[in-house]
Each structure stands twice: as C-alpha cells, then as structure tokens.
Structure 1
Amino acid sequence: MKYPETPAVLVKNKHFKLADVSTKDKGVFGETYAHKESAQPRLAALRQRLVELQENLYAEHQRSLLLVFQAMDTGGKDGAIGNLLTGVNPAGVQVASFKAPSAAELAHDFLWRIHLKAPSRGHIGVFNRSHYEDVLVTRVHELIDKKTAHQRFDDINNFEQLLTRSGTRILKFFLHISKEEQAERLQDRLDEPAKRWKFEPGDLKERARWDDYQDVYSDALAHCSTDDAPWFVVPADHKWTRDLAIAEIVVATLEDMNPQPPKADFDLKAQVIK
C-alpha cells in the first residue's frame, strides 16, 4: 500500500543508518501546522477514525493488526502508545511488554514467548519492546555475535511472514530521539518526583553504549524491514509530530484493510421485539 506522507522514514535500504535520519524533522507537518495546538484537531479526528476501524476489526473477527514499538530509553514508547489508543475499546486491544526473559522462556527458542503474545483475530496487538530485543541488547552486551544476530534476522522475517499469512498486518515503529534529548528526559525523571519511578541507575550504563545501540538498531532495521512488516523510523524529539505520524500510518493501514462487520445470518424481518 501507499503510506501517507509524514516525517516518518520507511526503511527500504539494506545499508540504512539511523544517523541519516534527523530526530527533529517535522517534514510535511512543519509546512501544514504552525505549532502543536494547530495539529490537535487532525490528531483528534484520526483517533476517532481509529475507534471506528477498531470496532469493525473486532466485529469482523477475521484479521488482526500488530504494532511493534522500539526506542532507546526515554524514547517515548509509553506516551506514543497511550496517545494513539486514547478512546479505543480496551476489549479489542492486547498489549505485551517484553523485559529480560525468565528461566522458563530461556529454555525455549527466542521467539517462543513472542508468539504466545501475538494478537488474536479481531484485535490490535501492541508490543512495547519486542522480539527485536534479542538482536539488540543481546548483541550490545555480547551475548550473541553478529553471525547469530543475522541468523535471527532470518528467523524474525520468517516469523513475521507467518503472522502475515495468518491474517495479521504488522507495522513497526522505531521512535528516534537524539542523545541530547535523552539527556534532558533522564534529567526530568530525576528532577520531577512524579517521574522518578521511571528512572533506573542502569539507564546510565546503557546510555554509555549509545553508539553501539545505534549501530545494532541500524543493522536490524535494515535487514528486517519488509513489504509485509515495514519499519518506520519516527523522528521523536517533538512528541506531537511523533504521535501524529504514527496515527496517520496506523489509520491508513486499517483503512486499507477495510474491516467489515459480518452480515446477519438470520432473517431480520422475522425478528420481533415485544
């Protein structure tokens, strides 16, 4: 399908590098909207349309949509997901977060725990972090080597193709922030009592590996962006452009899917309500 024009970059190149994408780019949004407030009516309209499409998807109960979110620490995954799904019926949404695997999960292949959380028919599934952690964190911390990572790229592509053939559309979003923006957001977490619960000292150790993460992310996105399961790099220093770009792409995809409620399988005229 043809995706709407947004600041988000659709990854198509096997030599893709995150360094080539601005984290602050507003793209067409900068030309259309003077400021954040002027974009709010469009975002509200997209949310309402998403509510309608999600209801049809749930009623149709034949297909599903999987949204994968990845980012550096403080990249805004929680905020982006919350903004996108405002007003959507929770009964039609399945959210999964993937942290360090448990002993039971480690006893299986790396995709085992992921497949268990794939969205069922009629649902929008959301992965807050995902199977890509097993070719990112593991690689930065030298738990796997480049050869193993690339073997896993093949496994991931095959897995996502399986989901697609089974009726699941897949969209993957990398929320792209700058190292300077991350520093400001980490400082905010320390300075504001209401946000302190989000801060972990270990975040600073991961920040020290910034360049390594940029390299492995670039590699994963370049090799695992396919027609069936595309990766979008979303400039995310400006939260409002991030949210609007994601909403535009998700709504356009659901409209392309065009879910339809099932037709009544009984005689409507024979039904008399007394």
Structure 2
Amino acid sequence: MAGTVGFDQHPSETLRAGKGFSLAGVDPESTPGYSGTKEDGQALLAEMDDELAELQEKLFAESRFGGRKRILLILQAMDTAGKGGIVHHVMAAMNPQGVQFKAFKAPTDEEKSYDFLWRIEKEVPAAGMVGVFDRSHYEDVLIHRVHRWVGPEEIKRRYVAINEFEARLSGSGTTVVKVMLHISGKEQKERLLARLDNPAKHWKYSRGDLDERAFWEDYMSAYQAAIDETNTAHAPWHVIPANKKWYARIAVQQLLLSAMEGLDLQWPKAEFDVALERELVARS
C-alpha cells in the first residue's frame, strides 16, 4: 500500500467490544486506530477493493467444490447512521452474484405468528456467500425493549436464543461480523435536516425517524445491554464511531478483509488435466 495511509492499529482490535465495554465511552467523532485524513481514507477504501473482490471470489469458488464457509455481516445502527452507505461503498467491490443482502423491516403478520428468529433463519447466507443484514434479529431486543412491547423476561430469553443461534451459525461454517455504527444525536439531527433540504433525499425521510429520536437514551441503554449479553467469542461486537462516514466504511472494509483472510481461502485445484484441455482448446 505504498503511498496509502493504512491503519496504525487494526479495527478488529480497536473497535471490538471488550470486557467492561461502555458505549457511553465511545466518541462518535473519533477514528480509532487511523490517523489519516478523509482523503487518505477514501484512497485506502479504493485501494483495498481488489483484495476484497479476490477474497470473495475465492470464497465463492470454494463453495462450488464443497466448501461450507460463508460470511454474515450484521449492521445495526440508529437511523441515518450510514448502513446503506456501507452497502453501497464497501460491498460494491464484490461480485453481486456472491452477495446475499437482506434489509429487515417491521415484521409482517405472518412473521409475527412465529418466533422472532423464524424470519432471520430464512435469510442466512448460503455456502460461499457474503450475507449482509441491514438491521437484524437485534431489533427484537432493541426497539422491543425501548417501547416495552415485551417484558424483561422475554428480552432475556431472546438474548439466550440469539447466542444459541449465532453459535449454530459459527458451528456450520459462518463467520459472523457484528457491527454497530455509532453516531451522536447531534449528527443524526444534522443528517435528517440535510435530507429534508434535498428533494432528491426526501424519499429517505420518515416521520418515524423523528419519533424515535425522543427515545435516544433508551436506545443507547438497549444497545449497551444487547452488546453486554451477546458479545461472544464466536460472534463478537465491533462498535464503529460513525459520525465520519468515510471512517466507518474503511473500518467495515477492514473487518471484512480480516474475516475472510482468517478463512485461509484457496483457489480450488483443477480436477482435470490442464495441459490436455489447453491443447484441445488451442486446436479447436
């Protein structure tokens, strides 16, 4: 990466929620482990695209020959935190044939008739795929807790169910990358106002975003509790300061690169005589 400013310390270390983690202690304006400018970060994002694309192709190729490995990126955040920007700017480097994306909205009547994980399990990425959840099963211990749609005992049950679910994912070959994009209330306000000031962004605005702002501190408490209860060795949380969109994007990119590098992905060996096939093609 000659000429490109890389991380001084990898996000998998600086952003991982460790023992005694405090969400209140995370400055949404900060850029942990990175001393470069916005322009440096954008250059790094572009430079690492090819490596990310190659790793994804290896992951997909392995699955064509029986490989069971896959990646699941879970994005959780308050409204306007930049989940869509992550998908657009980070995942765009990948071949869309190997990406399985799902944005979870409010559950349908049918989905409500089942356990909260029912609709989630149906969207788990297949072998060789990079799955992306824009919101996820964590909504069921966040908004449900904030608005008291279920009681404390049910929330506790869901924490346990989530840990068991993610353990099953890990055991079946899924590397789970859990990310909370952390913005400040002030930053969210500015982003909402920017949407209202731009007619091309009006479609993104919802009065519901404004309504939920009134519960900001309750959401922060709910996130703290969720991280405390579901931060496991096989599915750890990474909390990314996200007031600076460019930083959040390079941090997520680095987490994905690290996750895939850890899989020791290899190109499948040819199950045919390459020299013979080349000769036959040359003669054709």
Normalising to structure 2: TM-score of the pair?
0.91
User: Is the Cα–Cα contact under 8 Å of residues 8 and 235 in structure 1 kept in the other structure?
Assistant: no
User: Is the Cα–Cα contact under 8 Å of residues 8 and 234 in structure 1 kept in the other structure?
Assistant: no
| Partner-residue secondary structure (3-state), 1:126 | strand
2:190 corresponds to which letter in structure 1?
E
Instruction: Provide the rounded CA distance (Å) in 1 between the counterparts of 2:118 and 2:207.
Output: 30
Equivalent of residue 160 in structure 1, options 166, 174, 180: 166
Which runs of structure 1 show a deviation greater than 6 angstroms over 4 or more consecutive aligned residues? Answer: none
C-alpha deviations, 1:62-90, integer Å up to 9, x for none?
A: 21000000000111100012111123100
Residue of structure 2 in register with 1:182 after alignment: 188
- Does residue 116 in structure 1 map to residue 115 in structure 2? no
- Does residue 5 in structure 1 map to residue 7 in structure 2? no
1:105 corresponds to which letter in structure 2?
E
Aligned-pair CA distance for 1:145? 1.9
Residue of structure 1 in register with 2:106 after alignment: 100
2:271 corresponds to which letter in structure 1?
D
1:57 corresponds to which letter in structure 2?
L
1:185-224 aligned at under 5 Å gives the runs: 185-224=191-230
Instruction: Provide the rounded CA distance (Å) in 2 between the counterparts of 1:40 and 1:261.
Output: 29
Residue of structure 1 in register with 2:148 after alignment: 142
Instruction: Provide the rounded CA distance (Å) in 2 between the counterparts of 1:8 and 1:205.
Output: 33
Residue of structure 2 in register with 1:238 after alignment: 244
Residue of structure 1 in register with 2:235 after alignment: 229
Aligned-pair CA distance for 1:257? 0.8
C-alpha deviations, 1:203-258, integer Å up to 9, x for none?
A: 11100000100000110011111111111000000111111111111101111112
Instruction: Provide the rounded CA distance (Å) in 2 between the counterparts of 1:133 and 1:27.
Output: 27
Aligned-pair CA distance for 1:92? 0.2
Gaps (5+ residues) in structure 2? Answer: 1-8
2:34 corresponds to which letter in structure 1?
F
Residue of structure 2 in register with 1:16 after alignment: 21
Equivalent of residue 97 in structure 2, options 80, 88, 91: 91
Instruction: Provide the rounded CA distance (Å) in 1 between the counterparts of 2:181 and 2:42.
Output: 20
Instruction: Provide the rounded CA distance (Å) in 1 between the counterparts of 2:84 and 2:146.
Output: 23
Equivalent of residue 46 in structure 1, options 45, 48, 51: 48
Instruction: Provide the rounded CA distance (Å) in 1 between the counterparts of 2:248 and 2:33.
Output: 12
| Partner-residue secondary structure (3-state), 2:155 | helix
Residue of structure 2 in register with 1:265 after alignment: 271
Aligned-pair CA distance for 1:28? 2.5
| Partner-residue secondary structure (3-state), 2:93 | coil
Instruction: Provide the rounded CA distance (Å) in 2 between the counterparts of 1:269 and 1:39.
Output: 44
Instruction: Provide the rounded CA distance (Å) in 2 between the counterparts of 1:39 and 1:224.
Output: 30
User: Is the Cα–Cα contact under 8 Å of residues 51 and 89 in structure 1 kept in the other structure?
Assistant: yes
Aligned-residue identity in percent = 43
Residue of structure 1 in register with 2:4 after alignment: none
Aligned-pair CA distance for 1:12? 2.3
Aligned-pair CA distance for 1:8? 5.2
Residue of structure 1 in register with 2:3 after alignment: none
1:38 corresponds to which letter in structure 2?
D
Aligned-pair CA distance for 1:39? 2.5
- Does residue 29 in structure 1 map to residue 29 in structure 2? no
The number of residues matched between the two structures is: 267
User: Is the Cα–Cα contact under 8 Å of residues 61 and 267 in structure 2 kept in the other structure?
Assistant: yes
2:133 corresponds to which letter in structure 1?
F
Aligned-pair CA distance for 1:270? 3.4
User: Is the Cα–Cα contact under 8 Å of residues 70 and 174 in structure 1 kept in the other structure?
Assistant: yes
User: Is the Cα–Cα contact under 8 Å of residues 111 and 131 in structure 1 kept in the other structure?
Assistant: yes
With over 3 angstroms needed to count, the CA separation of the structure-2 counterparts of 1:151 and 1:160, relative to structure 1, is same
User: Is the Cα–Cα contact under 8 Å of residues 8 and 245 in structure 1 kept in the other structure?
Assistant: no
| Partner-residue secondary structure (3-state), 1:22 | coil
Instruction: Provide the rounded CA distance (Å) in 1 between the counterparts of 2:214 and 2:34.
Output: 33
Aligned-pair CA distance for 1:138? 0.9
Aligned-pair CA distance for 1:18? 1.3
User: Is the Cα–Cα contact under 8 Å of residues 14 and 33 in structure 2 kept in the other structure?
Assistant: no
2:188 corresponds to which letter in structure 1?
Q
2:160 corresponds to which letter in structure 1?
D
Instruction: Provide the rounded CA distance (Å) in 2 between the counterparts of 1:219 and 1:81.
Output: 26
